[in-house]
Amino acid sequence: MKAEVITIGDEILIGQIVNTNAAWMGEQLSLAGIDVVRMTTLGDASQSIKQGLHDAFKRADLVITTGGLGPTHDDITKEVVASFFGKGLVPHQPTMAQIESYFTRRKRAVPEASRMMAIVPEGFDVLTNSVGTAPGLWYEDNVTGKTRRMVVLPGVPREMKALMTEAVLPRLQQLPGRQTILHLTLLTAGIGESMLAAKIGDLSSWLTDDLHLAYLPSSHGVRIRLSGQGVNADAIQMRLDAFEAHLRTRIGAYIYGEGRNTLEAVLGALLIQQGLTVATAESCTGGLIAHRLTNVSGSSAYLHGSIVAYANDIKVSQLGVEPEAIRLHGAVSEVVVAQMARGVRKRLQSDIGLATSGVMGPTGGTAEKPVGTVWVAYADAKGVETRLVRLVKDRLINKELASTAALGLLRTQVLSRF
């Protein structure tokens, strides 16, 4: 099935908002085996939207719009879609009742603008919005000789995603003649795309038109996505399982999770399971490791705290780093980062200390220690492990990559030592 995604809103055209909706929808539709052939962004103008729908249905069987369903005068998607299909607008009683009940509970009169949210094109199916007020819409006809499917969704990302996940994707998956598509995403850290390819590239001889492997790199690690398609779900699952087993034999140590998990969430579960606490001593990451760890709800169970030791004085006074070590080896050195990890562990009375020290750029690089040189260290009661990583030229990307390297080291050490 060929699909097009149409995003509606002047704020996208003038660059006020980045169109993350289209990317998310593109990914979800592709994962469902639907071929997204074009994405379009249109302004809040009736003629432009109508022309966009007309163009899209020339190429696609399925057109999904997002945006323009709100209560203000800019929000004209519903009217234009109704008119495009030659339909009138009628009140949808269940939605109206839901809106009235919302305001009645709050002892307020229903604003006219909110009533408008319950007006829908005649003959359209209404998809219940579980996290907001604007319902989604589904319509199909074949008056032009081919089946046209139209889905209308709100532009608020949370509402669009809830409607896609709860209503649209399940319905698309049930359409007759659809192949089953299964995916498996393995999350890795501590290894780059080219090193991964060197370790598993020869497995690509297993790949076929209906078994596909993709490397998805980011500053939080490389995701490996395996997709299989066919008519028999069990047969696909068996092929994916077999491939996964080979991948885990080759690169299992680098795989920290599956699907939409994050390294910090996986680490959190691991630390809770092992009953371990951690503290970080951050120089070059400047607090980013602690920020990532505390993005996980419940992280107070294992993160005691952190010391961001940006100045050398603080490394000495707060972490017990020897001034002599800094003088002899520099702050960006194996000796100093190991002392930082040991020091923060002791100082914040944690089972584990994790430390970083590096040259993030754009200035401060030398021939011996160019921008991108980072030492990370892990310390526990039994000893210290250090790693040298060589990153890139960009300060902000270096901070992300260095935090991922440190969290990756934390994970592999906990797994091998406890």
| Residues that bind a copy of itself in the complex, under the rule CB under 8 A | 12-20, 22-28, 30, 36-43, 48, 52, 55, 214, 216, 280, 282, 285-291, 293-295, 297-300, 303-311, 313-314, 317-318, 347-349, 361-363, 395-396, 399
User: Would you say 39 or 90 has its CB closer to a copy of itself?
Assistant: 39
Give min distance, CB of 365 to a copy of itself, in A. Answer: 12
Give min distance, CB of 137 to a copy of itself, in A. Answer: 23
User: Would you say 34 or 117 has its CB closer to a copy of itself?
Assistant: 34
Nearby residues of 317 by Cβ (< 8 Å), 6 or more positions away: none
Give min distance, CB of 304 to a copy of itself, in A. Answer: 5
User: Would you say 169 or 253 has its CB closer to a copy of itself?
Assistant: 169
Nearest-angstrom CA–CA distance, 373 and 389:
6
Give min distance, CB of 414 to a copy of itself, in A. Answer: 19
- Note the maximum CA span of the chain: 83
- 362 upstream amide cis, omega within 30 of 0: yes
Neighbours of 225 (CB within 10 A): 15
Which of 171, 161, 165 lies closest to 140, judged by CA? 171
Residue 23 identity (one-letter amino acid): A
The CB-side HSE value for 287 (13 A sphere, CA atoms) comes to 3
Give me the sheet containing 211-218, strands edge to edge.
Answer: 211-218, 221-230, 180-188, 255-258
User: Would you say 171 or 291 has its CB closer to a copy of itself?
Assistant: 291
Give min distance, CB of 200 to a copy of itself, in A. Answer: 19
The DSSP output letter for 178 is P
CA distances, 75 to each of 43, 68, 72, 234, 398 (Å): 10, 4, 6, 45, 42
> Alpha carbon 156 to chain centroid distance?
17
Give min distance, CB of 416 to a copy of itself, in A. Answer: 26
User: Would you say 95 or 318 has its CB closer to a copy of itself?
Assistant: 318
Q: Do residues 229 and 210 make contact, with C-beta atoms less than 8 angstroms apart?
A: yes
Give min distance, CB of 227 to a copy of itself, in A. Answer: 11
User: Would you say 104 or 218 has its CB closer to a copy of itself?
Assistant: 218
Q: Quickly list DSSP for 185-239.
A: EEEE-S--HHHHHHHHGGGGGG-BTTEEEEEEEETTEEEEEEEEEES-HHHHHHH
Tokens 């989604």 belong to residue: 136
User: Would you say 37 or 415 has its CB closer to a copy of itself?
Assistant: 37
Give min distance, CB of 124 to a copy of itself, in A. Answer: 25
Give min distance, CB of 309 to a copy of itself, in A. Answer: 5
Tokens 């299964």 belong to residue: 182
Q: Quickly list DSSP for 44-107.
A: S-HHHHHHHHHHHHHH-SEEEEES--SSSTT--HHHHHHHHTT--EEE-HHHHHHHHHHHHHTT
Tokens 């007309």 belong to residue: 54
User: Would you say 17 or 195 has its CB closer to a copy of itself?
Assistant: 17
User: Would you say 26 or 192 has its CB closer to a copy of itself?
Assistant: 26
Nearest-angstrom CA–CA distance, 104 and 394:
54
User: Would you say 118 or 352 has its CB closer to a copy of itself?
Assistant: 352
Give min distance, CB of 13 to a copy of itself, in A. Answer: 5
Nearest-angstrom CA–CA distance, 336 and 305:
20
